[in-house]
Amino acid sequence: MRERLLLTLPRSDLLEYRCTVCGESCGTREAPRPPPGRARPPE
């Protein structure tokens, strides 16, 4: 499976999942984004 960003929305990202063998779409998912202004923790 490969994850591909389809659309960036104000509060979430729309992701698509595709098969790495045939390239067919296997589904989508809406992933919430962190609120603006919040810093990421150091890695």
Per-residue pLDDT of the chain (43 residues; tens, 9 = 90+): 999 999 999 889 999 999 999 999 999 999 998 777 766 666 6
Please give the C-alpha separations between residue 31 and each of 11, 21, 23, 34, in angstroms, as whole numbers: 9, 24, 22, 10
Separation CA 1–CA 3 (nearest Å): 7
**What 3-state class would DSSP assign to 7?**
strand
User: Rounded to whole angstroms, how far apart are CA atoms 21 and 33?
Assistant: 29
Residue 8: partners with Cβ closer than 8 Å, 6 or more residues away? 14
What does the pLDDT read at residue 33?
A: 84
pLDDT of residue 43: 65
Predicted confidence at residue 34, as pLDDT, reads 76
